[in-house]
Chain A
Amino acid sequence: MTAPAPIEFSDATVVTVSPRQISTAMGAEQAILQLDSGKYFGLNPVGARVWQLLAQPRTVAEVLATLLAEYEVPAERCRADLLALLHKLHAAGLLVVPPAAAPA
């Protein structure tokens, strides 16, 4: 699998899980298989919550707002951790920016 071109995520970027994966909840965690690379990934409970939110297209700002409402964490740290996770998921082919929502 060719690594996707890097994306600069902004609050307005709409993201969702890739159709080229399958995943299953394992307790509070999430196991994911990328179908093109055949690689397995695991998400901890917070990552699994992000994954759950991204089951449908959402903006980064929407995901961030939900996390801030659900977890006691400073906003800047939450944003940094979320963006780091989104970059990793995207590089692994697990996340896409839907074409209709891609910036012009």
Chain B
Amino acid sequence: MIPRYALYGLCLATDLPLKAPAAASSAAPDLTILRGGELPADHPAPTGEVWAAADFGNGVAVRLTKTAAGWSLLYPNTAEVRFSADRAQASIHPAPGKADILPLLLASSVPTWWLNLRGDPVLHASAVARDGRALAFIGASGMGKSTMATLLCAHGATLITDDALRLEPSADGYRCHFGPGELRLRPGAASLAGYFAPDCANVSADGRTTLRLATATTELPRLAAIFIPQPSRTAEELVVERLSLVQASFHLNGFARAIGWQAEGPLRRQFEWFGELARRVPVAKLTVPWGPPFAPELAGRIWSELADCCV
């Protein structure tokens, strides 16, 4: 049987080895992704209607195309994922020399785009929980999301996700789905791995220090607040600045995990979905005295400061 993993509230079946919690063997896969053949070096972009295209610089880009057979999610010079029209099946094809990257794509980016195709927008966020309440940190790459999550996990919080946060509306707000259970640290924050047991640490295929942390997989934590980290080398105190509803809505849309939409349907869906999220959950900028070194009491101060603006 193809191994099944529990990711973002989905059952993902794949023959690629993922560092993610196993799903129950009885669980029906939402999506089955099998390793396909290697792409030719001069692999052209598929023909069809471009639904989304984004270029993140540093040679990293993504392009989602509606094709005659379904959808193509192309990471130029890296890989292509081909989804069936009913989105239940997919194959993933590495560019030459890029096979090691496939598990990384399957752990975050690919499920994110798949969820969006299904109508579930996803935040570009790290999130942690304590006492059933979750805090999310949104922002572009390098803005401190993972560092914030690492600091709080080092002081007793549970990791929910490091990169992509899927939220599910509930009667009391929003519930957070768990990601793969791994933190990926940038070189500047790699020293934070020292807070954790040595056997948690590893190195990812893209050269980052990773921390594999246990995640609770029972009750989904309730999202209490969303923060936009503002790392500061000069600030001496935490500063929380609550955003207006309009500003909150703009930031949530700006920090969606899947960006560059050109198709109107997903664009409308994302705008309305994040607008409702901004109405129901406080969003604030959080100026943080930055390290390393980080003040030992910083995590505790974050929890106490944040308690004032959580729902």
Contact = CB atoms under 8 A, between A and B. Distances in A.
A14 B26 CA distance: 62
Nearest to A30: B246
Interface stretch (A33-41, A62-70, A75-83, A85-93): A33-41
B244 A24 contact: no
Nearest to B272: A24
17 contacts: A22-B271, A24-B271, A24-B275, A26-B244, A27-B245, A29-B244, A30-B246, A31-B245, A31-B246, A33-B267, A35-B264, A35-B268, A38-B267, A40-B249, A40-B250, A42-B246, A43-B246
Interface of B: 244-250, 253-254, 261, 264, 267-268, 271-272, 275, 278-279
Given A42-B247, A42-B250, A26 B275 contact: yes
A35 B250 CA distance: 14
Interface residues of A, number: 13
Contacts of B249: 24, 26, 31, 40
Given A35-B264, A38-B267, 13 more contacts: A24-B272, A26-B244, A26-B278, A26-B279, A27-B279, A29-B245, A31-B245, A33-B253, A33-B268, A40-B249, A40-B250, A42-B247, A43-B246
Contacts, number: 45
Interface of A: 22, 24, 26-27, 29-31, 33, 35, 38, 40, 42-43
A24 B249 CA distance: 10
B259 to A, nearest CB: 10
Contacts of A35: 264, 267-268
A29 B248 CA distance: 12
- A-B complex: 10 closest residue pairs judged by Cβ atoms: A26-B245, A42-B246, A24-B275, A29-B246, A31-B249, A33-B271, A26-B246, A27-B245, A40-B250, A31-B246
A27 B245 CA distance: 7
B250 to A, nearest CB: 5
Nearest to A44: B246
A70 to B, nearest CB: 21
A35 to B, nearest CB: 6
Nearest to B245: A26
B105 to A, nearest CB: 25
A40 B267 CA distance: 12
Nearest to A28: B245
A74 B275 CA distance: 34
Contact of A40 (B253, B261, B264, B279): B253
Contacts of A29: 244-246
A29 B278 CA distance: 13
